[in-house]
Amino acid sequence: MDMSFMNRIGETITTKGKEVTTMAKDLAEIANLKSQISTCEDVVRKNYMEIGKRYYELHGAEPEEEYEEQCGAICNARNGIADLEAKIKEIKGI
């Protein structure tokens, strides 16, 4: 066989190997960055929920007009929970 042909095959394999290694590193870095984004999104969600909870605690009985629907839904859900818990106690004979 022609040595230059073998050298070209060796160079091609080496080049492709480097490309695969680079791709693997890039994919790992992207996965890491996406994980960091997910963590940041969780912090945002948690804090949005905390703000909403605090608002409800402070203004739930008399919310601003734009929050009446959500505060009403929370109140109704809490009342529903209380009713269901009472039924559970009744069934248990408590």
pLDDT (tens digit per residue) in 58-82: 999 999 999 999 999 999 999 999 9
Q: Distance between CA 45 and CA 67 in Å, rounded?
A: 18
pLDDT tens across 10-41, in order?
677 777 667 778 888 899 999 999 999 999 99
Rounded Cα distance between 2 and 11, Å, is: 15
- pLDDT value of position 6: 65
0.75 exceeded by the pTM? no
Where is average pLDDT lowest: 1-10, 40-49, 83-92?
1-10
